[in-house]
C-alpha cells in the first residue's frame, strides 16, 4: 500500500479523532506554535462527556477552546512545561499548573519517568513523498512523546514550515493512528516588540563582549532580541547559532550576512535549534532551509555539547537577582511567570566553553501597579521565588547601569558588584541590607558604589 492510500485510510474528521480520548486520560497537546487547533475545538465540543482530562504542553500563543466555558475546570486541567501570559491567566483561575524541569531533560522525562501518554496530538507540516510529517519548528521533545503514546493524531496545517534537521524532526505515517486536516490557520506569533531605551543600553554593553566567530544563544524577550538586532547592525562576522529557541533576531543576523557557522566544531554551517517562535518572517525563513537545523532539546541543550563550542555566548533574561547572585528568571514570589527552560544549561555550558560567556540581563527596576519603583536587585529573593540559576553558576549580570562578572567573587565582593549596577535610588538601602546580612565587610568601599545617578 502506498503512502497516499494509507493517508486516505487514516484521514478522519477532528470530531472523529478525539473520540479516542476518555475521562482521566493524559493528552499531550503539542508544543508552542504547533499546539492543536481543530482538535482542540473538537475536544471542546465533548466537554460534557469528559472529566479529569489532563492536557499537557506549553508556551501557548493562542487561548485554548477547551477552557472557554466557565465550568472548564470540572472537565480539563492544563499542565505546562513553560508558561506564557495565556497560561498565567489560566493558572490564576485554577485551570493550569506548572511542571518544573530542566528543559534539556524533557525527552528523558517522557521516556524514563512519565513513560505513558494516552493520546498525543499536535500540528504538523503536510506529508512528504516519503511518508513523513515534519514537526515544524517544534521538534523539541515530540518524538519522545510519540514513543510513549498509545494513540498518535496529527493535525495537518499547510502553514507549518518544513523544518529540516537530522534526527527526530518528524514522524512517519506508519506510526500515526489518525490524520486530521486542520483549518490551515496561521501559526501563533510571539513578536519581540520595539526595544526600550533600557533594552538598547543593556544590548550595547553585551555586544561589545562578543568576538568574531562566536556561537550565539538568545533567550525569549525584548533584551535578547535587541542584542540580536545590534549584532545584525555590527561589524561582527563568522557567527554561529546553537540555541534552544530560534527567534526573529537570528533571521535578521543571518540576512545581514553575519552568520555562517564556519567556526562550530560540529553542525558546521548550520543554525541549530530545538524550537522556534516569532513572526511569519521566522516561519518563512526556516521553511525548507538547509541552513537551519531542527533538533531535539536534549541535543541542543546538552551542557557538554554547548561547552565544546569555543566562544559560546549565552544571553538570557531575569525577573530579579539577590545580592548573593541567585537568579530568579521565572516567578514573582510563588506566582509562576514562565519557566526554567534551558537557561541554567546555557549559563553552565557557556562558562565551560573556551572563551565562552553567559549574560543574564534585566532592567534595574520595574514599576508596581501603584506606579512606585521597585528594584530588581534585592537583598534576598522574595519568599517563594524560584532560583533558576544558582549563585555558584551565575556569571555576567547586566543592567542599564553596567555589567559585572560574579565568577570568583566572595559574598562581600558580589554584594558590592551587584549594588554598583542597581538603580542609584536603591543603592544605599542595599548596602544597609548587606551589612545586616553580614556580606558587607571592612574591605567594601562605599566609594566603589556610586550613589548618585
230-263: pLDDT as tens digits: 999 999 999 999 999 999 999 999 999 999 999 9
Least confident of 150-154, 342-346, 439-443: 439-443
Topology annotation, domain 9-181: Glutaconate Coenzyme A-transferase (3.40.1080)
The half-sphere exposure of 233 on its side-chain side, counting CA atoms within 13 A, is 11
What confidence tens digit (pLDDT) does each residue in 34-47 have? 999 999 999 999 99
* pLDDT for res 130: 97
Strand partners of residue 373: 367
Backbone angles phi, psi at 50, to 5 degrees: -125, 150
* Residues 283 and 159 sit within 8 Å (Cβ to Cβ): yes
CB atoms within 10 A of CB 318: 25
Q: What percent of the chain is modeled with pLDDT above 90?
A: 92
* pLDDT for res 448: 72
State mean pLDDT over 344-362: 97
Cα separation, 172 vs 129, whole angstroms: 11
Domain boundaries, the chain: 9-181, 197-448
* Residues 151 and 120 sit within 8 Å (Cβ to Cβ): yes
What confidence tens digit (pLDDT) does each residue in 266-282 have? 999 999 999 999 999 99
Determine which helix (DSSP H) or strand (DSSP E) holds 436, and give its type and residue range: helix 424-437
* pLDDT for res 219: 84
What confidence tens digit (pLDDT) does each residue in 68-110 have? 999 999 999 999 999 999 999 999 999 999 999 999 999 999 9
* pLDDT for res 169: 97
User: Which 3 state secondary structure label does DSSP give 433?
Assistant: helix
Same fold for the domain at 9-181 and the one at 197-448?
yes
Which cell goes with 126? 503536510
The half-sphere exposure of 335 on its side-chain side, counting CA atoms within 13 A, is 12
First to last CA, the chain: 74
Identify the CA nearest to 55 among candidates 38, 75, 71.
75
Q: How confident is the model at residue 220 (pLDDT cuts 50, 70, 90)?
A: confident
Q: How confident is the model at residue 450 (pLDDT cuts 50, 70, 90)?
A: low
Give every CB contact of residue 323 below 8 A, 6+ residues apart in sequence.
Answer: 377, 378, 379, 380, 411, 414, 415, 418, 419, 430, 433, 434, 437, 439
Average pLDDT in the chain = 96
| 244 part of the active site | yes
Global confidence as pTM: 0.95
Residue of 155, 244, 330, 400 marked active site: 244
Q: How confident is the model at residue 388 (pLDDT cuts 50, 70, 90)?
A: very high
State mean pLDDT over 303-321: 97
Cα separation, 144 vs 111, whole angstroms: 6
Residue 452 has pLDDT above 70, yes or no: no
Residue 192 has pLDDT above 90, yes or no: no
Torsion (CA) 76, 276, 405, 229 in degrees, nearest 10? -130
Four-way CATH pick for 197-448: 3.40.1080.20, 3.40.50.10490, 2.60.120.620, 3.40.50.1000: 3.40.1080.20
Cα separation, 172 vs 194, whole angstroms: 41
Amino acid at each position: 500500500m502506498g503512502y497516499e492510500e494509507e493517508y486516505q485510510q487514516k484521514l478522519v474528521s477532528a470530531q472523529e479523532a478525539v473520540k479516542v480520548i476518555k475521562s482521566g486520560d493524559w493528552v499531550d497537546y503539542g508544543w508552542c506554535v504547533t499546539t492543536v487547533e481543530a482538535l482542540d475545538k473538537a475536544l471542546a465540543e465533548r466537554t460534557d462527556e469528559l472529566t479529569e482530562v489532563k492536557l499537557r504542553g506549553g508556551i501557548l500563543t493562542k487561548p485554548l477552546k477547551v477552557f472557554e466555558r466557565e465550568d472548564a475546570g470540572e472537565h480539563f486541567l492544563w499542565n505546562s512545561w513553560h508558561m506564557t501570559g495565556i497560561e498565567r491567566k489560566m493558572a490564576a483561575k485554577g485551570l493550569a499548573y506548572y511542571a518544573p524541569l530542566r528543559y534539556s531533560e524533557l525527552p528523558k522525562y517522557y521516556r524514563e519517568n512519565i513513560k505513558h501518554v494516552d493520546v498525543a496530538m499536535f500540528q504538523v507540516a503536510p506529508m512528504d513523498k516519503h511518508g513523513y510529517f515534519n514537526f515544524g519548528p517544534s521538534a523539541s521533545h515530540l518524538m519522545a512523546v510519540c514513543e510513549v503514546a498509545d494513540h498518535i493524531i496529527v493535525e495537518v496545517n499547510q502553514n507549518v514550515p518544513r523544518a529540516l534537521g537530522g534526527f527526530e524532526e518528524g514522524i512517519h505515517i506508519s506510526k500515526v493512528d489518525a490524520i486530521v486536516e486542520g483549518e490551515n490557520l496561521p501559526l501563533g506569533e510571539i513578536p519581540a516588540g520595539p526595544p526600550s531605551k533600557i533594552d538598547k543600553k543593556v544590548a550595547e554593553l553585551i555586544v561589545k563582549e562578543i568576538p568574531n566567530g562566536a556561537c550565539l544563544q538568545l533567550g525569549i524577550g525584548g533584551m535578547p532580541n535587541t542584542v540580536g538586532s545590534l549584532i545584525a547592525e555590527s561589524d561582527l562576522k563568522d557567527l554561529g547559532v546553537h540555541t534552544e529557541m530560534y527567534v526573529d533576531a537570528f533571521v535578521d543576523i543571518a540576512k545581514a550576512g553575519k552568520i555562517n557557522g564556519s567556526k562550530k566544531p560540529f553542525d558546521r554551517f548550520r543554525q541549530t535549534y530545538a524550537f522556534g517562535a516569532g513572526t511569519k518572517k521566522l516561519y518563512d525563513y526556516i521553511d525548507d532551509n538547509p541552513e537551519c537545523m531542527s533538533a531535539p532539546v536534549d541535543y541542543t541543550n546538552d551542557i557538554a555539547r554547548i561547552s565544546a563550542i569555543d566562544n559560546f555566548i549565552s544571553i538570557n533574561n531575569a525577573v530579579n537577582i539577590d545580592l548573593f547572585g541567585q537568579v530568579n528568571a521565572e516567578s514573582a514570589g510563588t506566582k509562576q511567570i514562565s519557566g526554567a527552560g534551558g537557561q541554567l544549561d546555557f549559563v553552565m555550558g557557556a562558562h565551560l566553553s573556551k572563551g565562552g560567556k553567559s549574560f543574564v540581563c534585566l532592567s534595574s527596576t520595574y514599576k508596581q501597579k501603584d506606579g512606585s519603583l521597585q528594584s530588581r536587585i534585592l537583598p534576598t529573593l522574595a519568599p517563594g521565588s524560584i532560583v533558576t540559576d544558582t549563585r555558584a553558576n551565575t556569571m555576567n549580570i547586566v543592567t542599564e547601569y553596567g555589567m559585572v562578572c560574579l565568577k570568583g567573587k566572595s559574598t562581600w565582593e558580589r554584594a558590592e558588584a551587584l549594588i554598583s549596577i542597581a538603580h542609584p535610588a536603591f543603592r544605599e538601602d542595599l548596602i544597609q541590607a548587606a551589612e545586616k546580612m553580614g556580606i558587607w565587610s571592612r574591605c567594601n568601599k562605599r566609594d566603589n558604589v556610586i550613589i548618585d545617578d
